[in-house]
Structure formats: C-alpha cells, structure tokens
C-alpha cells in the first residue's frame, strides 16, 4: 500500500481550515494530519506530525506567511509549501514574493462568487505536485539578456513567420524567470502558457518584464504577437494563436484541459495550425501530461521541439510525457535552454 501524502493546513480561519481539510480528505492519496491557526503553532506541530506538504495562508496574526516562508528557507527546510491566499492584485505581488521565498505552488482562495470546494481536484493535484517536486536543485543564477545571438534571415516576401510557444507548470515560474531574461531581444514572437491562477499571471509577467530586455506582459484578447514581445496567458483563460494580418492571440474560457485553464495543449495545437513548420515548441518542468500531444501536433506540422531535461526539472512530468511520445528533438538543461532556443530558431525557415 502506497503511503499517503501527509498535509498540515495553516490558516487563521477555522472555516477555511475545515474546508481545505474536507476537500483534501476526499482524495485517497492524501491525509490531513493536522491544522494550525498560524505558523508559530505549526512550528510546534511539525516535529511530531512530520508532514510532507504544508498549505499556507499569507495573511495571519502573530506571523504572516511570507515571514514564515523566509524563516523556512533560512533554516533550509525541505518541506514543500503550497500557498492558498487571496490573489487580488496586491495579494498577487505578495504571492510572487512567496514563490521567490520558496513556495512551490500558489492557489487563489475563492472570492464570494465561488466556494473553496470548487478547488477540490485542482488542490489535490497541486498538493501531489508539491510532494513530488525535487528539493535538491541549486538556486538558478541571475540571467542576462544576450544581444545579437539570432541571425535574421527573411522569407522572400520580407516576412518572418517563426513563432515560439512555451508551456510549463510546477517550477515553471522560476524557469521562465531564468529563460526569458536570457533571450536576445530580437527574437520572433513568444507565447507562454504557465499553469497559474487568475490575477497571479499579471504579477508574474510584470516581474519578468522588469528583468528582461524584451517586453513581457499578460495577453489581452486579440493582441498581436510581435517580434521582441512575449505574451503570457492570463490565469483561467486558454490562449490560442490565430492568423489575421499577423499572429494574434485569442482568449477563451472553454472547459479545462488536463484539469488546467490555461492549458499548454490548447496553445500548441493552435500554433501548429497557423504557423506550421515555422513553430518552435518548448515544454518545461511540470506535473502531468499537458503539452505532449500539442508538441506532437507541432512536429506533425514540420515544426521543432525542445524539452527541459530531467536533471534540471522541478518535476519531470510534462517533459517526460513528451519524450515518451517521441515528439522531442532535444532534451536540454534549463541553463542551456536560452542558447538552444536561439540555435533552433536559426535552423527554422523564416
């Protein structure tokens, strides 16, 4: 019998603690071994309960969640943390700080229009992802924009039809924070799907934009995809590529795919349909199989594909699924990925 994932729930709201507990107990692979009103109580309980994963609110009395995360990091704790917090715009900045302080996942507390019970499948998925995440990866170095690395051949009509699409999940925010600032600013358009809650996607895009030479921002419906620009799918919206006067993005709220919205497969399949052999698809760290079939569509259309290798992945789930499907041209260490993207683009006909 497989050992259940042991979870300690930390939140100052008795209602939220009970609802998270009841929700997680529905999954046969998860056991809630305890609850705590705040991090100080949690610190007393952890040695006895030995949890595999902590869920953590950000705003609590006596000690807030961000302070606790920084304390855990300073103590070199390896217990993965899933933040469940109110993701208003201000809260999203706090949640991003939490990820930089070591949180594995961030989920939004539902607002008044929904109940936390609606998170059931998603919450269990992210708890399992956090439990399986690598804990031995060294911190990533600071990346710097590399100018002039891309040759700029043109098609006979003067256009450049190349397109880069990237998909990621658990560990992906940190991977994107490394890759995107390291890319030259003269790249063809980039579209990114990161499994991420609503509101939080904008904060992530703004933080990466501040580190990058290229423009990185959250996509809006019908935005054009332009050279030197990276558009990130907003949380809770699938992002597709369409072709009008240029490549543009279409945002839709059709049903989740692989329990995810946005889903990588949706982006990749649409890119294959409109950009065909001019497409480069990249699958980064994450749990599950999202992106594998979409990468297959890109390969069937004559495009190219890269995947993050196992050694550098927080979770080697999505890249593994693509490799096992036989649709990956090269598996690349994260720190070599920016150069691999440039080299592959140079080999694609404009």
User: Which CATH number covers residue 57?
Assistant: 3.40.50.2300
Sheet holding 190-194, edge to edge: 215-218, 229-232, 190-194, 163-168, 279-283, 304-308, 330-332
How far is the C-alpha of 56 from the C-alpha of 78, rounded, in Å?
A: 15
Shared domain check, 115 and 175: no
Ranges under pLDDT 50 in the chain: 112-113
Shared domain check, 259 and 119: no
Could you tell me if residue 157 is inside a domain? no
Could you tell me if residue 150 is inside a domain? no
Shared domain check, 19 and 109: yes
Indicate the pTM of the whole model. 0.90
Which residues, at least 6 apart from 205, have a Cβ–Cβ distance to it below 8 Å? 216, 217, 218, 232
Among 93, 114, 132, identify where a domain stops. Answer: 132
How far is the C-alpha of 195 from the C-alpha of 199, rounded, in Å?
A: 12
Query: Which residues form the catalytic set?
Result: 169, 195, 290
CATH code of the domain containing 330: 3.40.50.180
Could you tell me if residue 151 is inside a domain? no
Could you tell me if residue 175 is inside a domain? yes
Shared domain check, 307 and 261: yes
Shared domain check, 200 and 112: no
Could you tell me if residue 22 is inside a domain? yes
Rg value, the chain, Cα: 20
- Taking CA atoms, 150 is separated from 137, 160, 277, 328, 342, in Å, by 30, 13, 18, 22, 6
pLDDT given at position 61: 85
DSSP 8: E
Shared domain check, 90 and 182: no
Q: Which domain holds residue 24?
A: 5-132
Q: Are 291 and 318 in contact (CB under 8 A)?
A: yes
3-class secondary structure, 84: strand
Pairing of strands 5-10, 53-56: parallel
Pairing of strands 105-108, 163-168: unpaired
How far is the C-alpha of 135 from the C-alpha of 298, rounded, in Å?
A: 32
How far is the C-alpha of 345 from the C-alpha of 168, rounded, in Å?
A: 20
Shared domain check, 176 and 78: no
Helices (H) and strands (E) in the chain, counts: 11, 14
Shared domain check, 189 and 81: no
3-class secondary structure, 239: strand
Shared domain check, 178 and 95: no
Could you tell me if residue 155 is inside a domain? no
Q: Are 276 and 302 in contact (CB under 8 A)?
A: yes
- Taking CA atoms, 186 is separated from 116, 152, 181, 320, in Å, by 43, 8, 12, 30
Could you tell me if residue 176 is inside a domain? yes
Shared domain check, 312 and 179: yes
pLDDT given at position 150: 55
Per residue, what are the HEC states of 141-193? CCCCCCCCCCCCCCCCCCCCCCEEEEEECCCHHHHHHHHHHHCCCCCCCEEEE
How far, rounded to the nearest angstrom, does the alpha carbon of residue 147 sit from its chain's CA centroid? 26
Q: Which residue has the tokens 């699958």?
A: 283
Shared domain check, 177 and 270: yes
pLDDT given at position 191: 98
Q: Are 325 and 297 in contact (CB under 8 A)?
A: no
Query: How many CB atoms lie under 10 A from the CB of residue 346?
Result: 13
Q: Looking at the 3D structure of the chain, how many domains does it have?
A: 2
pLDDT given at position 206: 93
Q: Categorise residue 230: left if φ over 0, alpha if ψ from -120 to 50, beta otherwise.
A: beta
Could you tell me if residue 59 is inside a domain? yes
Shared domain check, 233 and 174: yes
Closest C-alpha among 284, 281, 280, 279 to residue 334: 284
């Amino acid at each position: 019998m497989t050992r259940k994932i042991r979870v300690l729930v930390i939140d100052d709201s008795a209602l939220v603690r009970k609802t998270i507990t009841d929700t997680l107990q529905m999954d046969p692979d998860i056991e809630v071994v305890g609850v705590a009103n705040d991090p100080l109580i949690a610190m007393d309980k952890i040695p006895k309960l030995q949890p595999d994963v902590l869920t953590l609110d950000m705003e609590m009395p006596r000690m807030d969640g961000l302070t606790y995360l920084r304390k855990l990091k300073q103590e070199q704790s390896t217990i993965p943390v899933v933040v469940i917090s109110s993701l208003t715009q201000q809260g999203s900045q706090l949640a991003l700080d939490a990820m930089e302080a070591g949180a594995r996942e961030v989920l939004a507390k539902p607002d008044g229009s929904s109940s936390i019970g609606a998170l059931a499948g998603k919450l269990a998925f992210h708890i399992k992802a956090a439990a399986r995440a690598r804990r031995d990866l060294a911190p990533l170095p600071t990346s710097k924009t590399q100018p002039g690395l891309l040759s700029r051949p043109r098609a006979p009509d003067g256009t450049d039809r190349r397109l880069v699409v990237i998909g990621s999940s658990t560990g992906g925010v940190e991977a994107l924070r490394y890759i995107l600032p390291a890319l030259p600013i003269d790249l063809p358009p980039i579209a990114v799907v990161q499994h991420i809650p609503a509101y939080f996607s904008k904060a992530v895009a703004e933080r990466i934009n501040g580190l990058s030479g290229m423009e990185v921002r959250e996509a809006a419906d019908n935005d054009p995809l332009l050279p030197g620009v990276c558009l990130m799918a907003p949380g809770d919206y699938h992002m597709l590529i369409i072709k009008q006067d240029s490549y543009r993005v279409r945002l839709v709220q059709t049903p989740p795919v692989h329990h995810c919205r946005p889903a990588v497969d949706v982006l990749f399949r649409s890119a294959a349909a409109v950009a065909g052999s001019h497409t480069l698809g990249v699958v980064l760290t994450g749990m599950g199989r999202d992106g594998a079939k979409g990468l297959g569509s890109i390969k069937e259309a004559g495009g190219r594909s890269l995947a993050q290798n196992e050694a550098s992945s927080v979770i080697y789930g999505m890249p593994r699924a693509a490799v096992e499907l036989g649709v990956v041209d090269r598996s690349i260490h994260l720190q070599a990925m920016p150069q691999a993207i440039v080299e592959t683009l140079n080999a694609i006909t404009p």
